Amino acid sequence: MSSSTAAPPLHEALTPLAWLVGTWRGEEGTGDYPTIKDFKYKEEVKFDHVGQPNLEFSFNSSHYETGKPLHREKGFLKIQPGTSHLAMVNTQNVGIVELSEGEVKGQEITLESHTIGRMTFGKDPAVTKIQRTFRLVDPDTLEQVVHMETSATTPAQHHLSIQYKKV
């Protein structure tokens, strides 16, 4: 293989996020919300980089029994160099663009949206806030928990919890 295709080193600004890089597979996610039926799902998550001071990610969920693709997300996780401050730029296949900010503390990330863009023909209810935590439970286990708000008057409620194993 030529040297031009060798994996670049992780940008030094990303050192606080090095524990996240890789492919993670969750086989037993659980979802709920006051307005829907409880459900289970699977999800594969990838965090990758090209040597820039941001991680690229994809979150691809699938139906628990049939494996049919469901909710999908792609985007970037950016770190303010020299700080623990993070921004997530996330496009979702349901027609939402999420801009969230937060902190990385050790091996835990907390993010909260400050802007959610929505297609003019998106389904109701509109999502008005998304809160996420990512936590490294052990070197091979990553956890994501998502809360969301669907109207300015409804406080955030739990939507998703999943643990992923490193592939």
Interface with ligand HEM (CB under 6 A): 31, 33, 35-36, 39, 41, 61, 70-71, 96, 125, 127, 130, 146, 148, 150, 159-160
14 versus 148: smaller Cβ distance to ligand HEM:
148
69 versus 81: smaller Cβ distance to ligand HEM:
69
Q: Are the C-beta atoms of 148 and 129 separated by less than 8 Å?
A: yes
13 versus 101: smaller Cβ distance to ligand HEM:
101
Q: Are the C-beta atoms of 147 and 127 separated by less than 8 Å?
A: no
Rounded least distance, CB 107 to ligand HEM, Å: 21
DSSP state of 54: E
Q: In degrees to the nearest 10, what's the CA dihedral of 19, 45, 148, 163?
A: -70
DSSP string, 9-21: PPPGGGGGGGGG-
Rounded least distance, CB 63 to ligand HEM, Å: 7
